[in-house]
């Protein structure tokens, strides 16, 4: 009879997770806040600095909503409660996945670290400014992608890694 594989205790999981999570999340938060502060110090709102003509500008845009301006039209109090509630649930979900799903999966911990670092970076903006600083403006012709920041990149890359992990896990699980 085959014995069930025993899962490591939570403290062992936390040590493995912390060795990966802390440096990555800290790097995301520091680089995000540093670049946002540079832009706030050197740009006026909506000022554009062309970097690659016809494709990429640096700008200063304040986003009161969530990703891509979601919820920006809600009244201030309701918007803040909604955004903090969604952010809180997202952080709890990340912590759950770290402790119970990805505790032994280095790529899973990396993806969760990126998401957590990005959430913290944008959360700092919300707590301090009541809105998020966005400054990367990509466009083609008159079509502009909504402005974004380093935290948004980390969240997107982390989510993309999760999709890749999920796809490859399905292939590995088949006999």
Residues annotated as catalytic are 134, 152
**Exposure of 149 by Cβ count < 10 A (0-12 exposed, 13-18 middle, 19+ buried)?**
buried
Tokens read off for 31: 């680089």
Please name the residues in contact with 116: beta carbons below 8 A apart, sequence gap of 6 or more: 21, 25, 91, 94
Q: Where are the beta strands (DSSP E) in the chain?
A: 48-52, 56-63, 132-140, 143-144
Q: How far apart are CA 167 and CA 162, in angstroms?
A: 9
Name 136's bridge partners. 58, 148
Provide the 3-class DSSP secondary structure of residue 135.
strand
| CA contacts within 13 A on the Cβ side of 70 | 7
Polymer length in residues for the chain: 175
């Amino acid at each position: 009879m085959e014995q069930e594989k025993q899962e490591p205790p939570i403290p062992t999981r936390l040590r493995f997770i912390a060795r990966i999570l802390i440096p990555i999340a800290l790097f995301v938060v520091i680089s995000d806040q540093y670049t946002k502060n540079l832009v706030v110090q050197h740009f006026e709102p909506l000022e554009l600095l062309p970097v690659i003509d016809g494709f990429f500008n640096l700008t200063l845009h304040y986003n009161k909503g969530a990703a891509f301006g979601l919820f920006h039209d809600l009244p201030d109090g309701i918007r803040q409660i909604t955004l903090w509630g969604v952010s809180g649930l997202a952080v709890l979900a990340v912590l759950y996945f770290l402790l119970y799903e990805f505790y032994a999966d280095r790529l899973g911990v990396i993806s969760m670290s990126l998401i957590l670092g990005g959430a913290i970076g944008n959360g700092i903006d919300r707590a301090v400014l009541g809105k998020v600083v966005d400054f990367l403006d990509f466009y083609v012709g008159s079509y502009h992608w909504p402005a974004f920041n380093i935290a948004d990149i980390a969240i997107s890359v982390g989510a993309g890694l999760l999709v890749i992990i999920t796809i490859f896990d399905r292939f590995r699980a088949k006999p």
